[in-house]
Amino acid sequence: MRHNLLTTNALQNLLFRIPKAAVLHGKSVGFAMQKSRFRNAKPKLPFFLRTIFTKQGWYSAFNGAVFGF
């Protein structure tokens, strides 16, 4: 049963064009997705650091993160 589930997951990943996840199905998929999220968040880091260390303080960081200001 587990083999069928892994095969189905791999085929679904190929269908939705997620080649990395299709190749790394099983336990590695979570790691691959986590790495992808980290890569996507990395360019935004300077914005968050600039917002956090302004004179307005934490409130500015909260508004920027939650409301997109």
Distance CA 69, CA 63 (A): 6
- Structure-model confidence comparison of residues 68 and 7, the more confident one: 7
pTM for the structure as a whole: 0.22
Going from N- to C-terminal start, the domains of the chain cover 2-42
Q: Whose CA is closest to 27, among 7, 1, 6?
A: 6
Distance CA 53, CA 57 (A): 6
Question: Could you report the per-residue pLDDT of 6-53, keeping only the tens digit for each?
Answer: 666 666 665 555 555 555 555 555 555 666 666 666 666 666 556 555
Burial 41-66 (b: 16+ CB within 10 A, else e): eeeeeeeeeebeeeeeeeebbeebee
